[in-house]
Structure 1
Amino acid sequence: MVEEELGWEVAGWKIAAMKEPLQRQLRTDSPIYGRVFASGIVESPGNVEHARQCSPIPEVEYQARLGADLPPRGKPYTTEEVTEAIVSLHPGIELAECRFVHDAAFPPLTAVLADGAGSGTIVYGPAIADWQRRDIAGQEVFLTCNGTLRRKGTAREFLDHPMVPVTWLANELSRTGIGMKAGQMISTGTLTGMLRPKPGETFVADFGPFGTVEARYL
């Protein structure tokens, strides 16, 4: 309904709460997803105005771009099929937002879902070469703020592997008759948890040999 009301192009998807700790924070018992609109997908370095953000949350995430459609169908998609459909995998930062007024806890799940699961802006870096044969799950990533380390984590810890949430999303969107289209970007879920930024802060996500991504709150 929000997509129809806005009339904006859906250019990607975001996934959140793949595992229990984040599910508890978001008051859900399963992963959730939201639409990402074309204006919210930018190459690194990305800039946003802090004053125009609603409860902003920077999160380090792998970004997967589809090279083939994954339409609705009766048979579930396998991880192998979904991996084959991914044309590139990128280091990234999702600049999530929560647009509902709330206290220390997040708003009720219905509000989170209406808000696109906190969908905001995706900032992505260059494609990771030969990513299918590299240790994506085990690579430790670091999030620094103005040069100070704030968070670190791995896909193995938070997601098992980025293709696990993408496969879940492919099957969820198949079940609901929506599907995914070639060219869409999927933000696969946070590797560093959630934190609140301040104006003037620059965040850098360091994926080691996979590259870095930068986002600034002006």
Structure 2
Amino acid sequence: MIDMGAASEQESIARTFVAARATGAALAAYPGKMPETLAEAYRIQDVAIARDGRRVGGWKVGRIAPELTQAYGDNRIAGPIFIDEIAEDDATMPVFAGGFAAAEAEVLLRFGDVGDGDHDIETVRDCIEEVRTGIEIASSPFAEINGHGPAVTASDYGNNKGLVLGPPIANWRERDLIAMPVEFRIDGVLVGAASMAAMLDGPFGSALFLIRILRARGIAIAPGTCVSAGAITGVHDIRPGQRAEALFDGQIRVGCTIAAA
């Protein structure tokens, strides 16, 4: 039986977030009863995607803190990335000036044909056509989006506001991506350095997770869909006027300038 009260609440939350994102307005408080489960969060997200009307060109995947995975029943969350917010290297990327804003160095996977079969950490590689460097722009009208647990984060598009596509990683099938060093700078200052070894089971684990969660939600993965596989060096606060730059393997650069939405 459908809980009409809960459905109405989810509709109201989704409507408020979509309107705030369309106008660039900040939200001083969460616009309703905060979701307590990922199932509730994805219902809000699904309503918002439908109301938004833009085409989804990719998905961001974010990690759930280890101490929260048991309570939420998963170790990652997902959120849509709209096609009009996917930009090339050196783009200007908007954020919500009165809300939450951050930038993250990420590896981007581009799906080919996923098919209907089951995959594991090895066979999922056959579904990937390209691996690129990139930067995820994490931003929400609600400044405390990451302060109330992963369900709240997931409910507003997973806290995504865009994706910067950097150069591809050549010969990625033969390379040890997990060991690749990554650095992140804001206005030229080093703010994070790490490798993908810190990313649970790495970017291909993120691809596996996304296939599973989208199938459960009845969402098809079209060929060409991007996956922003998760923060490598951390989630780095950023503000309009600043420049973000990621350096992969000491030689592959991708950057963007931040502006107010």
2:81 aligned residue (36, 40, 47): 36
Counterpart check, 1:111 vs 2:157: no
- For residues 134 and 119 of structure 1, the distance between their equivalents in structure 2, rounded to whole angstroms, comes to 29
**RMSD after superposition:** 2.3
2:206 — aligned with what?
165
Between structures 1 and 2, the one with greater helix share: 2
2:254 — aligned with what?
213
Deviation at 1:76, TM superposition (A): 3.0
1:17 — aligned with what?
63
The answer (yes or no) to whether the contact 1:128–1:210 under 8 Å persists in 2 is no
- For residues 96 and 49 of structure 2, the distance between their equivalents in structure 1, rounded to whole angstroms, comes to 24
Deviation at 1:101, TM superposition (A): 4.2
- For residues 193 and 119 of structure 2, the distance between their equivalents in structure 1, rounded to whole angstroms, comes to 31
Deviation at 1:14, TM superposition (A): 0.6
1:136 — aligned with what?
177
Closer/same/farther in 2, CA of residues 50 and 6 from structure 1, 3 Å limit = closer
- For residues 141 and 53 of structure 1, the distance between their equivalents in structure 2, rounded to whole angstroms, comes to 29
Q: What amino acid is the match of 2:215? A: S
Counterpart check, 1:177 vs 2:218: yes
The answer (yes or no) to whether the contact 2:86–2:164 under 8 Å persists in 1 is yes
TM-score for the superposition, normalised by structure 2: 0.73
Please give the residue correspondences for 1:86-101 in structure 2 after superposition, counting only pairs within 5 Å: 86-101=128-143
1:189 — aligned with what?
230
After superposition, the C-alpha distances for 1:83-102 in whole angstroms (9 at most, x for unaligned) are 11111000111011133242
Which one has the largest radius of gyration? 2
Higher relative CO (CA 8 A, sep ≥ 6), structure 1 or 2?
1
Deviation at 1:176, TM superposition (A): 2.9
1:85 — aligned with what?
127
Q: What amino acid is the match of 1:155? A: M
- For residues 90 and 119 of structure 1, the distance between their equivalents in structure 2, rounded to whole angstroms, comes to 18
Closer/same/farther in 2, CA of residues 183 and 7 from structure 1, 3 Å limit = same
Range that drifts further, 184-193 or 80-89: 80-89
2:19 — aligned with what?
none
After superposition, the C-alpha distances for 1:71-91 in whole angstroms (9 at most, x for unaligned) are 5x4x53222332111110001
Structure 2: gaps spanning 5 or more residues: 1-46
Query: Which structure 1 residue ranges, 4+ long, deviate > 3 Å from structure 2?
Result: 49-54, 107-110
Closer/same/farther in 2, CA of residues 185 and 113 from structure 1, 3 Å limit = same
The answer (yes or no) to whether the contact 1:59–1:96 under 8 Å persists in 2 is yes
Partner SS for 2:178: coil
Matched positions, count:
211
Closer/same/farther in 2, CA of residues 79 and 51 from structure 1, 3 Å limit = closer
Counterpart check, 1:60 vs 2:101: no
The answer (yes or no) to whether the contact 2:184–2:191 under 8 Å persists in 1 is yes
